[in-house]
Structures are given as structure tokens and as C-alpha cells.
Structure 1
Amino acid sequence: MLTPAAYDVTGLARELRGNLRGTVGDDTRSRALYAADGSNYRDVPDVVVVPADQDDLATAVRLTAAAGAPVTLRGGGTSMAGNAIGGVVIDASRHVNRILGIDREARTAIVEPGVVLTHLLAAARPYGLAFGADPSSGSRATLGGMIANNACGAHSVAWGTTADNVRSLDVLLADGTRCTFDAGLAGSAEEVARYREGFAGRGGAEGELHRRLQGFVDRNELIIRRRFGQFTRQISGYALHRLLPGNGYDVAGLLCGSEGGFAATLQATVALTPLPAAKVLCVLGFADSISSADCVPVVLRHGPLTMESINLDLVERLPSEVRDAAVEAGLPAGQAWLLVEMGGEDEASAAVAARKMLEELRDSGSPASASLVTDPGAQSVLWRCRTDAAGLATRRADGAEAWGGWEDAAVPPERLGDYLRGLDEVLGQHGLSGASYGHFGEGCMHMRIDFDLLSRRGLATYRDFVEQATDLVVSLGGSVSGEHGDGRARSELLARMYGEDGVRLLTEMKDIWDPRRVMNPGVIVDPLPVDAGIRHDGPAKDRKLLTVFAYADDNHDFAQAQRRCVGIGKCRQTSGGVMCPSYQVTREELHSTRGRAHLLWEMLEGDLVTDGWRSTEVRDALDLCLSCKGCQSDCPVNVDMATYKAEFTHHHYARRPWARPLSHWSMGWLPVWSRIASRAPRIVNKVTKSALVKRLGGIAEQREVPAFAEQSFTDWFVARGNSQPSQDAMAGRRGAEGQGGEVPGGEVGGGKGRVVLWPDTFTNYLAPEIGRAAVEVLEAAGYEVVLPEKPVCCGLTWVSTGQLGMAKTVMERSLRALAPHLAAGTPIVGLEPSCTAALRQDAPELLEGSKLAVAAAASTYTFAEFLDQAEWKPPQVGGEALVQTHCHQHAVLGFDADRSVMAAAGIKAVVPDAGCCGLAGNFGFERDHYEVSKAVGERVLLPAVREADEQTAIVADGFSCRTQITHGTTRHPLHLAQLLADALDRDE
């Protein structure tokens, strides 16, 4: 492999800092953050640059190239083939991301390389336009990255690849020349000839480049015609055929897919496609993927907008509620499915087109079952099965790991069935399996395979497999890359695909553009072996750390848990969802779930981040993690950063209590301080208003400390005259872990039996009115409400501050208090979602092997869950409610029951796509986190509350959510229990 000559890294970093307004990082943390992308590879960069604007980007490229250093341009960092790692990484996504204009008449947009696809789509939608290439990673993929890899997406079968939709590119060459290249001329041979001559006649470096390009084409036209551009998804190598006169001398098209190896994109003019007036989705079910592939030519004759495949392996890995919703939305019986979208002037004409396609499919003898889906909501549910596939495929159904490395080969669509048959044979020869999905309309299949990338033997098998799979693809006239580019995963394979003559052409083209080999060296030309630099083949895999959490789903292995993050980057989206709230406001890689996961991995790897659990780099990366758990549900591979943060924090401060932040003592021990405060709440409330107390507690001075109630909920409950189960009544009853017998069954008190109401710290000491409302509702529903005999706590505040030893002690004591009720099968109802989630999930993971923890998790319900299954007709509240779902409820418990109960009560629930409220327990109270907390709240939630009609109820079951809303607006949110109790009172 040819590489740039050695260069002075320290000197270059100093020069970049002196000439850029953006940031330049050659520190450990910056380099660790960018050592990996969405692939299997790791290459620690020398320097990371985040330019401030387009001119800064150009300066960074010019200075880096002039120093002889490798220039690695990076967009969203989601490249799956190792296309954008190593050297000097220049990240354009944070600042060089403006949409500079949209021309409705010309149907074009001018964008900078850091523009995220979904942002462009949102800007174009009011004009009835869209960008034709739409990969499933569009919520974080940048236009610059899409141009570099010639991204395709689901609709490219109708609207073309990125290269087909680029009109011109403003670029910077390695020698510092700034110029513009167009997409070529659609005209006669004579017109194209004059067009070429015009460029060749220019002076300077630009004219010389055009003359060399045209001479290259004239010398090699025959072989280019025979080897390149044979079908739409032949993405591998350079698109040399774009330069042919018959293609209008399309230099911009050549740059697309060059993976940053020719020039740096500074700005692009792209074409926008008119959206169809209506779309219907036809879902075809098959017994297997091969039979679905065999019907592709028939479907293509009907001009579908898209034809995407998924299989049962992936559907079974979806969350159960999504899987059930997909069946309800129209997923027919089968083991494999094609999602075929048809467009039309209206829904009726789109449906007619779909029925014609189905009719011919039946006539062809296809065994497909089918459903026609017209409802947009149902279509969205079905599309989620496909868009989450890349993440879902990283784990087999039995939990074993699966990887990219052979994830996007393509063949001409009519050969797809043959390819799948041959691929099954090659997989079988090596004892491998994988979940597949992809763009069947263009013969491209994505796949994650259960390679063993952790051993020498496994890597040898990996290499043998990709070589045999390459030969199979080549024999069918296919391409080793059909979408994601070659990168490090496939560049070495180009010799098998194009032969010696073809590789010679690629090398000559590289030399025309980049003779010093500084632009993303080692990609396409001069490649490293495909099995070199594998990220997982390092010390991290052998580090078996002693952890407090069990990580049962990851083979009790913290390193395997960290391998969940494969760089998909969904946590970098800013267009909705819970994950990742801090990234959504800072837009820094450091504050994404992926960034934190990469630093944790580097901590395990140990050669860059060397301090293990004591690492300040990891500590600082985790600092702005709100522990919202949004990643656990929103991340397709279920990365659980809240748990990893708690684990790390526990070890980081082990045997160093003095080093902990003050807030760990003030808010981490809130249950203890609350119990003490309840003895003299008036005095405590006066004291906590002082600036000194806030300062000593690490609390932001802008925050108002919530007032402790003058009477706790448990005190009210006892004073009300409720009789708790006595010690005598409990004696001799057989309980869990061998203690106790049975609580008398049948109707006790209430006609439907007894229910334990969990008196969490927030409800008990800070919001007892919610507990009182819940008692009223549960009794109205026919239940006798009881409380645990002794004080209980879920331990959450100690978990979130990484004091896991104390958390376990508190949990164990509380579960022992519950033992008689658990033995009797008495349900437990939680009012605070975070505490309910802790009982449902954290307790079993921290107390592995505890029968009480397992029993409590199975017996614990949210307030809405319990009412939803109680066969009780709630009072008619009516009206509209703006509902903020607690992020722990979103991640662990779900919201369906709440919707059901509110609908039964006549409440129209409006749930804004706000994600986390931003307070997140202790996070938003902490002095150093106030600004981020406020920014998270102001992103969606607080403006939505302010804009809500006064008659609209504001509902938030979580104490943090209610507090953030109260601090940020004039509204006072309610718990669902309060809404229902108020209606009961009105009915009386």
C-alpha cells in the first residue's frame, strides 16, 4: 500500500489551530471518538478537525494536504465499509451544514456537505419535492457522505442514486485549486464534443485536469464500456463510465462514489424530485427470500417507487409492540416479505397500479400472499420493520453477534435469485448464517453475518468467505458494493472484480486527481487487506471486568455489551425521538450515545485511553448523559448508556468518596434526606431556598428546590384510618425465599382484591396529592389499597449517581418488605415511572439470582397498566391533554396502556415528539448541567406547553417532567391519577 510520507503531526495541529476558527483536537479524547465509524474497522486518527464554516473546511483540507498528511473527510460517520477513518479526520457535520437555497422552479437545492438528508427533505417537502436517494440512515447521513459513497436508498429504483441527482459540485483539489464540476451535457455527440473542448481549453490546474481526464477516456474507452456502469448498483470502484461522451462527460458523477479520494466537496447543487401525489404500499409475503427474489423482474415491469425486502429473522427481533402493530397494519403470513410502493395521481390510481402488478404476479405463478396498505400510519409501521434492519441484524435471534463485512453486494436484478442460492451455499460451507434485507428492486442485498471477528481462525474464515462470495458475485455480473462504497472492507476485492486491467484504470484515475495520494489513501486504490485493522481483534475482547450489573443479555460480559454499538449513529438524529437528548442540543460527537460507546470501548482497548475505570476522558463523555434510557429503546441495537454510565461511575469513584460531585450526596441520597426533612418540612423548605445550600449541594442557582410536603403520603394514608397488614397477620405465611404462607385470597376490602401502592420518594414526600388521587381512583375501581409495612425505595437515585452498592442494599431491604405481598400474588402499582422502571428492570439486573427481584418485576405495573387490565370503566374526563411521556417509561414500560385508559376516559391525548424533558432526575438540577437541561426542554416540550390552549390539560406522570414544565412555563402539570380523581369528584 502506498501511503503519504511521514509528517509532523504536532506541527500540523499547531498550524491548523493558528489558521482555523473551528476546533482542532490531537488529544486522546478527540482521537478516540473518531477511531471508528459504522464498520468493523478501527484506525486512530492523528488529528480531528471540526471546521467552523465552508472556508474553514477548505483551509483545513489545503493545509493538511500541503503537509503531506492523509485527508479524511467525514460526514455522519455511519459508513459501513471503513470509508472515513484514520489520518486527519475533518468532520463537516457540526457546522458546515447550511441549506443555501431551494429553487422550486428549477427543482434544485444548494447544500453544504454537512447537511443531514432529513433536514433537506423537510425543507423541500413544502414545495412537493424530495431528494431522490433516501438511505435508511437519512436521519443522520450527510449529503457530503452520500456524495462520497454514491448513496442509493429505497427509492433509487425509481429516482436514481445520489450521482443521478447531483447537478454540480464545488470542490477543493489536493493542490489547493478550487473549482466546480457539472453533471455533464445531455445532447448530441457533436454538442458533447464541444462541451468537452470548452473545459479542455481552460487554463491553469483545472484545464490541465480536464485534458488529462479526456485523454484517459479516449485511450481506454473500450475497456471502460465493457467493465464499468453495467447496471445501476455497480457502485464499486470509480464510476469511470460517467466520463464517456455517451454519458455527457459527467465529471460530477465521477466524483460521486470516489469516497473522498479525488477532492473535498465544499458545496453541491442537487436535483429535487417531485413527490407522487399518493402512495400505496403492497406487502408481499413469501416462504423464503429466494422465492421473493424470483418475482423481482415481474414487479419491476410496473414501475414501483421502491421494492424492499425483510425476513422473519429481523421481524422477530423487533419489539413485540412493533411486531404486533406490523401484523395489524397488514404484514401477511410468510417468512420473507417485499415492501412494494406504488405511486399515482391519487390514492385510487396508485391502488389500481398496485392491483395490476398483483394480477400479473399471480398470473406468473408466484406463491406470494399480499396485502394492500393505504393508511399512512400503517405504512409507517411497516417501514419501521425495514429502517431498523441494520441495527436489528447485528444480533442473531439467539443473541449471538453478527457483523457487516459482506453487507451490500449487488447483482443485476434478474440474477438476484441465483445470487441468493449461491450465497446460501457459500454460507453453509463456512458454517455461517445471517439476516438479510435490502433493495431487491435493484439486486442489492444487505446482510449481517455471524462472523467470528475475535479470533485468528475466525478472521481467516472471514477472509475465505468474502473471497468466495466475491467470485460468486463477479460470475453473475455483479458488484461487491451496491451502495456503501468499497472502503477498507472491499477495496482489496476490486482486483478479483475488475481484474488487472481494471485496477490499472482505477490507479491511473487516482493519479490524475491525487498524485501525492493524500486524499483518503488506501481506499479503492492501494488497499490494505480486508482482514487488517479489524476493530474487535484487540485487547478489549479479552478484558473480563468484574461488574455490578449482570449484563445477562450480553453473556455477562461488559466488553460484549460495548460491542453492541456498531456505529449506526441513529443517536445522532435531531429530527425526533428520545435518543439522544444531549446530542440534539450540542450536536457534538462526544455527546452522542455512539461517542460515549466508542470511548468506553477505547477504555477497554487500553492503548489510547489508558486509565481504565479512572479515565477522565470517559467520565467527561458521560457527564452530559442524562441517563434517560432513550437509547435502550430507540437504538436499534439497544445500547443502554444509562446502565453503562452507572457502572462506570460506580467504579470511577470507588474508594474515593471525596472525589464525587456534591450532587451525588445531595440528590443521590434524596430518599434519606426526604425522610429527615419530613420531620420538619417548613424549616427545611426555608433552608433549601438559600444560595449557600444550593451551592453546597451542587445545585444550579437558577433551580427552585421542590418543597417538601407538610404531610407525607404515607402519613396521610395512616391518618386516614387505613389498616395495614399487621405483623401477626403476616406471621407464619409462606413468602418468597421461604418466608411466609398465604395472604387470604378472595375479595379483601375492595370487591376486586388488594393492591400494593408503591410509595416512591417523590410521591411520598414531594407530591403526596398524587398518591391520594391514586388511592381514590383505585378504590373507585374496586380495589383495597395497601402500602408496604416498612419504608421502601427502588434505589434509583443511587443507581443514577453510580452508588451501586447502596442501591443494592436499598433494593434488597425494600424487596424483603414486599415479600409477603409477592408471595400472595398481590399486584404492585407504581406512580412514578422511573421508580416503576427500576423495579421492572434495574432490580433484577443488579440483584441477579434474587427470586424476590424477579417476582417484583413480574408483579409491578404502572398506574395505567393496572387500570387498563382491571376491566373498570373510568369516569369521562373529556377534552384534550398534552402528554409528556417519561423517558424511562418510553424505554422500559411503554405508553400503550396510558393511551388506552385516556381514550376510555374520553381524553384526546396529544403526545409531542419531545423526547426527554431535560431535567432527568438529578441531571437538570446540577450546577454544570442547567444550560443543557434547559436547552433540551426548549427544543420541543416547553414551547408546546406554552402554545397549548388553556383548556388543554398538561399531563406528566414523571416528577422530573412536571418539575421541568413548572420551572419553564406558567402551567402546572398533572398526573393521570389526578385527572381521573378530579372527574370522580365532579361525578359525585
Structure 2
Amino acid sequence: MSLPAAFLLAVERLIPRERRFDDPLSTLAFGTDASFYRLIPKLVVRVESEAEVAELLSLAHAERVPVTFRAAGTSLSGQAISDSVLIVLGDAWNGRDIRDDGARIRLQSGVIGAQANAWLAPYGRKIGPDPASINAAKIGGIVANNSSGMCCGTAQNTYHTLAGMRLLLADGTLLDTEDRASVTAFRARHGALLAQLAALGRQTRADEALAQRIRHKYRLKNTTGLSLNALVDYEEPLDILTHLMVGSEGTLGFISAVTYDTVPEHPHKATALVVFPDVETCCQAVPVLKRQPVSAVELLDRRSLRSVQAMQGMPAWVRELSAGACALLIESRAATADDLDAQLAAIRASLAAFPVEKQVDFSQDPAVYNQLWRIRKDTFPAVGAVRETGTTVIIEDVTFPVERLADGVNRLIELFERHRYDEAIIFGHALEGNLHFVFTQGFDSPEQVRRYQAFMDDVAQLVAVEFGGSLKAEHGTGRNMAPFVELEWGHDAYQLMWTLKRLLDPRGILNPDVVLSEDPQIHLKNLKPLPAADPIVDKCIECGFCEPVCPSNGLTLTPRQRIVMWRDLQARTRRGEDTGALHEAYRYQGLETCAATGLCAQRCPVGINTGELVRKLRGQDAHHAGAADWFAGHFATTLRGARLTLRAADSARRLLGAPRLARTSAALRRLSGNRLPQWSPAMPQATQPLRLQPLPATDARPRVVYLAACVSRAMGPAAGDAERMPLMEKTRALLEKGGYQVVVPAAGDALCCGQPFASKGYADQAAAKRQELVDALLEASRGGLDPIYCDTSPCTLRLLQEGLDPRLDLYDPVRFIRTHLLERLEIVPEDRPVAVHVTCSTQHLGESQALIDLARRCSTQVVVPEGIHCCGFAGDKGFTTPELNAHALRRLRQAVQHCDEGISTSRTCEIGLSQHGGIDYHGLVYLVDRVSRPKVPAFD
């Protein structure tokens, strides 16, 4: 059915066109969350204010239009999708208010969980919930799912650390429990509602059997159904209401903001891995550990250990474990080192009587405990990486009573064998009896769906009925377990949930068929296809972990959405459908606005670099190989042309003035169909090649080969930049200050790492230029005898990623300065605020923290703007697709407004950073040179 005309007209008046999406590409892209379901919304609305949400709810309530709320879309059970109206959070939901030295924090629903913890870190605090998706999941989803995690348990989830809430009911009514005026107004308008909640609470507490069942259920980790514990834990109806909202998955109202009582983040920790000979022994140790000072105990069965045993860096003994082995990963944290030592002694003593097959004793060494945690964290992606193309990875989430944990594990393994899920693994949060099991499933035939149905029926019977456990411990009910809520809870509790739903959402508009559904087959409908698209991305499980670091997120598509769309396009093409319009839309949204820097791969559980797919597809559209050959073969001429263009642009600036030139450039760009580049005041002036005099043979200084990137050889400072010395001259000066003699490769202007060609899809020309450069570097470094300093981190990464000749010793600016120059320089830090931008390539090179640390050696005031992971300039995208750069840096100016200067390690990135930050950005060498002097006199 289509949406009511009156509703659509009202939405058009309320929400600007650029935040309303109803085209086939966008609706499909937003119709995907991390679950194995797909619904295509008829309308997607990106909201930027609470007032917009209130009005939308009022309209939807009046017209009976179903709506679903979407934060990050990392939900695993189908909570964040809709075939009606999907309301997506925009940029403006990132507010926070830290109170009482971090003891409390109020967060808007668009804040990413890890960002909240970063804000709290200086206070030694964190929020209680710690889901595995915390680097992507937003507070709205964390609260709505009552998410927990490895250390959270049941005591530190949102329900138990909630101090206040700001919410909207289904009719758009606002309640802020921390605002006296709001509470007074709500009581006046919704007194009857509050009276009914109070009455339901009294009735539930008076029903001893029901109340006892509710208390028992929440002794376990449990997110199945609505949070009925609110009715037995609280008498005040406002408390009942806010705690009902926790875990309601958007079915009772919209959560605008929450206030948390935070928990300590102890600085001292140690981790051990103990492998027991069998499941029974392993699980018998869990209740013993539950009485000890442990912060996390993770169970891994032999199947899960086997799934990661071949991964790089895994201990060799993992391969040699017995067939029935079962492990516990144990962590303890403390406020002081002495406390931690005492805790570890107590834990060791408690386990002394248990037979152990293998163990890694407690270690406080980050290298050791990070490796141990990697074993646990890599189990889920390990299954995803080996699944057959076309199947999906399903992660289920159940709780057994801890005292029956061993039986539960063994019975689950029996179900895997009965239903032929040979790849299935089990791991989980043992202290709570919370087990995750992961398996792969296809849905492209009725037989496969029936197999899944039979398996889930057996799981539900086993967990909910035989063991009295919970079918959803922390992933939320969704539509996945909605048909089984009554089976788990019983008739009376189930009907109580429906009473609450109809009381708070009388017209049934909020996320229908999620948590509660009258359709017993809802978990078998709208199953998401995962057709083959390209080997580069076929392993994608569409989790959305990649999205927070993508510069085009919110402008066009995210990596997840690019993959979703390409899968759909390939499937449509195979069916013989006309995809011309979709391909044309994808060209801009999927290809032109992708920075292709590969940051998504760092966040992806299976390591997918969506940029590789984009470059491959660009290559298929790269129809000017002849021109690319000419540019590659005449690169020095190309650079001279670039300098000439920059001089012409600067002449135009002098003639017209910067404001008029900017307007003229923008107009010409529009007239050209966005084919002409955009000029800005940050545009660099042309520079000249670095010319060095031949060095005398008697020069005893160590040599360094200086590889100046092509952008450094062409682009000097901008006209308005206070710094007038080009990067090449500044770099040479710093290297010589450090006591080095500087040499450059012969025929320097003809050299290029190939990145400009690779980014445009001309792989052959890129490879040829790269090899030409490698040969020149071998000659200049005397066969690898001398280190090579590359002044731009993207070029360094390009050379290293493609497999550098092992004789070459190549450095980016950060690594060379910290490993070779600091020992030769005396640093006197300046008291000026400096902004640091960590480029994508610096992140890939593993030098992010080193860059920040270097800046802090040079300045007492260092600012690292939060939430900016990639600047979106992406080589020349800042010129050819300036909206990508502008979108990626839309919050930069406010973050750096008090800084005097910004530093980075990429000349092109610095152009966009200067333009959108409102301060001059320079290479790291400018800062280091300004605050340093030689420790010993330089050689003559």
C-alpha cells in the first residue's frame, strides 16, 4: 500500500527535499541493517531535531502510518528496517553533558558508544553497556536494545544504570524526566496513562507467580520481549515508563536522550586464557569464577578455537588442542597495581583444583592480552570469511542458567549436528550463561528455509522450555524471535506485554512486527538475499561497522550501502532487468563520491576494502587508456602543466580577487556539469622542483634519499598562507638540521608512485609508474644502503601496500622523524594550540598515535578533532567532487577555531583542511622544524 497523500504532503512541508528519500537506490540502501532481513521503506526521512520527530510522530499517529527509528543499524534481529517510513538520525544528535566529574553523562541518541567512552576517559569512567559493536552502535540503539557486552553483565546495562530519559510517545508528546516543567506538563496531559501504568505495576507485583517469574527471567541476561521487570522493580509510573522504554526496540516511543550513571574504567588489567580438557570441566569453573574479582569471562568451544587457529599471530598450540577442549578467557581489572596483584592471586587459587590442558597465565603486557582478546574477537568474522557466497552469517544469542551451562553447550552442539550446521561455533559471556552461536545459512530455496525453521524451533524449545533460559540475551527480540516470545514467557506475561504495547502505541504505528507480532511466521519472511557481486565484497555481512569512518556517510552512500546496491544491480542484471537508471545513479552515489581510501577495511570484521571494488569499477569505465599512457610517459611535462595551471589560477586571483574568483569558479563548474574543478582560497601556488648541488665525496654525514611526492613538487603554499616556504625546502632544511646529507632521485619530475592513475582506474599505468619509481629509488639509495624519506604518507602507503623491494628502507614523515630525527634534535615545545589531522594513509601505516605523540612533543596544546576520520579530499576529489570534502569536514571549523595551525602528512589533504578548518594546515615538518635545534652542530 502507498502512503497517505495527506501524510506525504505534510512531510514535504516539514522536511527539506535533501533529507527525504524515496528513490529506488536510496530506499534499498536504507532497507538494510545488520540482520538477515530486508524491508524496502517507501520513504526515508533524515531528522535533525526533536521537533521534527515529534511532528512526524503526530502526523503518523493521525494517519496511522507505521514508522521505524534507525540509529546506526547494527541491530542483528531485524529491528531497524521498515516497509513504511524509516526515520534516520542525522548529524544533529551528538550532544553530551558530562556531570559530577564524569559520574553522570547525558547523551543524545546519535552519539556513538565509543565516543561517549572517549569523552569519559579523562575522568576514569565509562558507560556501562559495552556491546561488541560499540565503535559503530549509537546510544539510541544501545538503549532501545538494552545492549550489554563482555564486561557489562546484567548489573551495568542501560536498564540498571539509567538516571534519566528524554522521550517522545507515539503521538509526539515529549517527556524529559530531568526537567520539572516537562514532568509537570506530562502528568497533566497524560495522567490517565500514568495511572494505568501504576495500576499494572500493582497488579503485576500482587500476582506472586507472575512477579516471581519476571524476577527469575531477569536474574539472567534477557532482552526477549518488553522489559516487564519495570513493573516489579518500580512503583513510580514515570520510572516504570522510562524503564519500559529500555529494550523496547522503538515499539513504545522514541528515545531522544538518556542520562547514565557511569561506571569506573579501571586502568590496571590482566588477561589469561585457560583451556580445559572438556566442556563440563570448563563450565564447572564458571560459578567458581563468578565469586572472584573478574571483569570478564569468555567461553570458547573447540569449534570456535579451530576457526581462528590458522590466523596470523595465533599461538601454535591452538592447533594441537584436543577435540573436546573448551577455553575461558579471563580478565580482571583494578584501580591500583597492588589491588590487581591480589585479585590475580585469588583467581589463580580458585582454579588450582581444576585440570587444565593448556593455559596462558595472566599477563599485563598489552601485546599479550590484546592477542588473547583477538582470539575471542576474531571468531565471528572467521565464520563470515569462510561462508559460501550467497549465504548469510547468523549469530544467535541465548542464555542458560549458569548452573546448567555445560548441559546447554552440549545440547546446542547436538542440535548443530542434527541439523548439519557443521561450521557452527559457540562462544559467549560465561559469567551470565550467555552464549552466542554462529552459523551460516542460505535462504534461496524453500528447503533451506525449512531447515532454518526446524533448527530455530528446536533451539526455542531447548532454551526457553527445557532450560528456562532466554532466547535473546543482548541482541534484542526483533522480528527474529517475536514468534517465540509467548513460548518463553507464558500466556499471562505475553498478554501483559500486549497490554503495554496497546497502552503506549494504541494505533500500532511504532515498529510493527518487532518484539510482538501476531504473525507466527514473521521470522521466516522478508529474508535478505546476499547474491554474488564481486569476490572483493562477497564476504560482506552488511553489519555497518564500516560506516562511522566513511566520509560520504550522510552525503551519498556508505561502504555497506555501496555493497548492498552493487549486489542488487548484479542480481538484476543476471535476471535480465533494465538497470540503466540505477547504474547511472550508482555512478555518482557509489563511485564518484567514494574516497576509496580503505578506512572501511580497518573497521570491517572480515577486512573488506570497499574502495578496491570502487577502483575496479572505475577501471571498467576508464576509456582513455591512450591519454593515460601519454601522461605516464610524459609525467614531467604533466607536472609542468600543473604548475602552469596553478600560476594561471593565481593570476586570476590577483586580477579578480579571491571572492569573485570563487564565485566565478563555482558558476563555471555548474555550467560544465561539474566537470571543471572548484577553486578555493586554499588553492596552492605553483612551486619549483628541488635543485640540490652535488655533494663532495668527503661529506661524512649520513645520506637520506628524499622522495618528494608529485604534489609536493608542484604545489607550494596558498597565497594567503603565512608560511611561504614550500614543503620541499622545509623538508630539506629539517633533514639537514638533523645532520643528514639530502639526495634526490635522478629525473625526479618524471617519477610518480602511480596513485593518480590507480585512483582513476588505470591499473596498468599505475603499476608501470610505480616500478619506474622503485628502480629510481634503488639507484638513488645505492641499492638500499640509504634510507628513503617520502614526504607524503599516501605515496608511502601506495609503495608499501603493493609490496616494496625488500632492499628499500622507506619511511613516511612520522616514522622517519620519530626513529631518526628526534635523537638528533632538541625539542622546545611551544605553547600554541595545534590541530592534528591523522590522514587515512597514516592510519593504514599504523602511525596514528605516533603522529599525535610527536605533535605533543612539539606543542603543549594539541587538538585532535573528534569524528573526522577521513577528510574526503582523496587525491583530487577536493577539486573534482568538492562536496565530498566539504561534507567530510563539515564539523572541522568549530573543532579547530581556537587553534593557530593544523598539521598533517598529505599536501592535498591540507588544502581541504585549510579551506574548511579556517586555519592553515601544513606538513608535520613545519612544526618540528619550528621547535627544534640540532643537538650537535651540523656538518659543514
TM-score tier after normalising by the smaller chain length: 0.7 to 0.9
* Residue-by-residue CA offset, 1:619-655 (whole Å, 9 max, x unaligned): 135554333322222433333232233334445x566
Instruction: Provide closer, same or farther for how the CA distance between residues 973 and 203 of structure 1 changes in structure 2, counting only shifts above 3 A.
Output: closer
Using a 3 Å threshold, how does the CA distance of structure 1 residues 937 and 420 change in structure 2: closer, same or farther? same
Q: Closer, same or farther in 2 for the Cα pair 1:570/1:337, shift >3 Å?
A: farther
Secondary structure, counterpart of 1:146 in structure 2: helix
Could you tell me which runs of 5 or more consecutive residues in structure 2 were left unpaired when the two chains were aligned. 179-185, 319-324, 653-660, 670-674, 716-726
- 1:616 maps to a residue whose letter is A
Structure 1 CA distance, aligned partners of 2:872 and 2:362?
Answer: 41
Q: Please tell me whether the aligned partners of residues 41 and 534 of structure 1 are also in contact (alpha carbons under 8 angstroms).
A: yes
How far does residue 912 in structure 1 lie from its aligned partner after superposition? 5.3
Q: 1:472–1:95: structure 2 CA closer, same or farther, 3 Å change rule?
A: same
SS at match of 1:265: strand
Q: Aligned match of 1:687 in 648, 667, 692?
A: 648
Does residue 877 in structure 1 map to residue 833 in structure 2? Answer: no
* 1:165 paired residue among 155, 161, 165: 161
Of 366, 374, 392, the residue aligned with 1:385 is 374
Q: Name the counterpart of 1:90.
A: 87
**Corresponding position of 1:986:** 938
Tell me whether 1:698 sits opposite 2:676 in the alignment.
Answer: yes
- Residues 208 and 298 (structure 1), Cα distance of their counterparts in 2 relative to 1, 3 Å cut: closer
SS in 1 for 2:480: helix
**Amino acid corresponding to residue 567 of structure 1 in structure 2:** C
**1:934–1:266 CA distance, 2 compared to 1 (3 A):** closer
Instruction: Pick which of 881-890 and 346-355 moved more.
Output: 881-890
The yes-or-no answer on 1:611 pairing with 2:580 is yes
1:219-368 alignment runs, 5 A limit: 222-223=209-210, 225-226=212-213, 229-230=216-217, 231-244=219-232, 250-268=240-258, 270-275=259-264, 279-286=268-275, 290=279, 292-308=282-298, 312=305, 336-344=327-335, 346-365=336-355
State the Cα distance separating 1:53 from its structure 2 match: 2.1
Say if 1:155 and 1:305, in contact at 8 Å, map to a contact too.
yes
Residue 105 of structure 1 and its aligned partner are, at CA, apart by 9.9
Shift of 1:263: 2.9
Residue type of the partner of 1:644? L
Structure-2 change in CA distance of 1:888 and 1:108 (3 Å): closer
How does 1:621-660 map onto structure 2 within 5 Å?
A: 622-651=591-620
Q: Secondary structure at the match of 1:282?
A: strand
Aligned length: 864
Q: Distance in 2 between matches of 1:302 and 1:464?
A: 40
Instruction: Give the drift of 1:340.
Output: 1.9
Q: Which moved more, 1:142-151 or 1:25-34?
A: 25-34
Counterpart of 1:924?
A: 878
- Report the alpha carbon displacement of residue 272 of structure 1 after superposing the two structures with TM: 0.5
- 1:484 is paired with a residue whose SS is coil
Comparing 361-370 and 672-681, the one that deviates more: 672-681
1:36 Cα deviation (Å)?
A: 1.0
1:986 counterpart SS class: coil
AA partner of residue 69 (structure 1): V
* Amino acid across the alignment from 1:834: P
Does the Cα contact within 8 Å between 1:61 and 1:264 map onto a contact in 2? no
Counterpart-to-counterpart distance in 2, 1:906 and 1:265: 44
Where does residue 544 of structure 2 map in the other structure?
568
- The TM-score normalised by the length of structure 1 is 0.72
Once the two structures are superposed, what CA deviation does each residue of 1:355-374 show, in whole Å capped at 9, x if it has no partner?
A: 21221122455567354455
- CA–CA distance in structure 2, aligned partners of residues 316 and 92 of structure 1: 40
Contact 1:757 1:787 (C-alpha < 8 Å) held by counterparts:
no
Report if aligned partners of 1:229, 1:239 keep a CA contact under 8 Å in 2.
no
Partner of 2:413: 424
Aligned to 2:321: none
CA contact (8 A) 1:279 1:350 kept: yes
Tell me the CA shift for residue 68 of structure 1. Answer: 1.7
Equivalent residue runs for 1:880-895 within 5 Å: 887=839, 889-890=841-842, 892-895=844-847
1:880–1:908 contact (8 Å) kept in structure 2:
no
Q: Deviations over 1:218-245 (max 9, x none)?
A: 6x65245336742331221223343237
- Of residues 480, 503, 518 in structure 2, which corresponds to 1:526? 518
Find the aligned partners of 1:261 and 1:974 in 2 and give their Cα distance: 51
Check 1:924–1:419 CA distance in 2 against 1; reply closer, same or farther (3 A cut).
same
Q: Give the letter for the 2:139 counterpart.
A: L
* CA positional deviation for 1:878: 4.2
Distance 1:19 1:614 in 2: 31
For 1:164 and 1:582, locate their aligned partners in 2 and report how far apart those are by CA, in whole Å: 37
Q: In the superposition, relative to structure 1, how do residues 640 and 677 fare at CA in structure 2: closer, same or farther (>3 Å)? A: closer
> 2:170 maps to which residue?
174
Of stretches 623-632 and 72-81 in structure 1, the one that deviates more from structure 2 is 623-632
Would you say the 8 A contact 2:634–2:750 is kept in 1?
no
Change (3 A) 1:303 1:934: closer
Q: Say whether the 8 Å CA contact 2:296–2:332 is kept in structure 1.
A: yes
Q: CA deviation at 1:178?
A: 5.4
Aligned to 1:547: none
Aligned to 2:637: 676
- What is the distance in 2 between the residues matched to 1:480 and 1:887? 43
Cross-structure match for 1:14: 9
Contact 2:77 2:476 in 1 (8 A): yes
- The aligned residue for residue 182 of structure 2 is none
CA distance in 1, matches of 2:852, 2:195: 68
Cα deviation, 1:576-601, whole Å, max 9, x if unaligned, reads: xxx33454xxxx27454434444444
Q: Which residue of 2 aligns with 1:726?
A: none
Q: Does the alignment pair 1:797 with 2:793?
A: no
| Deviation at residue 569 of structure 1 after TM alignment | 3.1
Partner of 2:322: none
Q: CA separation in 2, counterparts of 1:906 and 1:931? A: 29
| Aligned partner (choices 444, 459, 463) of residue 434 of structure 2 | 444
Q: In 2, are the aligned partners of 1:596 and 1:621 still within 8 Å (CA)?
A: yes
* Contact 2:307/2:383 (<8 A) preserved: no
- 1:817-860 Cα deviation digits (max 9, x unpaired): 9689999996696724423433444x6xxxxxxxxxx7x57676
Going from structure 1 to structure 2, the CA distance change for 1:478 and 1:611 (only over 3 Å counts) comes to farther
Alignment RMSD (CA, Å): 5.5
* Structure 2 partner of 1:744: none
Structure 1 residue aligned with 2:722: none
| CA distance in 2: counterparts of 1:122 and 1:763, whole angstroms | 35
- Name the SS of the counterpart of 1:480 in structure 2: coil
| 1:917-938 deviation line (CA, Å, top 9, x unaligned) | 5543212334545534654765
Identity of aligned residues (%): 20
User: Which amino acid is the alignment partner of residue 526 of structure 1?
Assistant: E
Q: 1:809 aligns with which of 754, 759, 765?
A: 765
Contact 1:918 1:935 in 2 (8 A): no
| Counterpart-to-counterpart distance in 2, 1:925 and 1:201 | 55
What is the aligned counterpart of 1:482 among 456, 473, 486? 473
Distance in 2, matches of 1:380 and 1:304, equals 15
Find the aligned partners of 1:303 and 1:215 in 2 and give their Cα distance.
39
1:515-539 deviations in Å (ceiling 9; x for gaps): 43322111222244433222225xx
* Distance (Å, rounded) in 2 between the aligned partners of 1:443 and 1:830: 54
**In the TM superposition, what is the alpha-carbon distance from 1:380 to its structure 2 partner?**
8.6
User: CA–CA distance in 1 between the matches of 2:615 and 2:191?
Assistant: 62
Aligned-partner SS, 1:144: helix
What is the rounded CA distance, in whole Å, between the counterparts of 1:582 and 1:228 in structure 2? 46
Unmatched segments (≥5 aa) in structure 1:
1-5, 183-197, 328-333, 544-556, 573-578, 658-663, 724-748, 844-853, 948-953
Give the 3 Å change call, closer, same or farther, for CA 358–444 of structure 1 in structure 2.
same
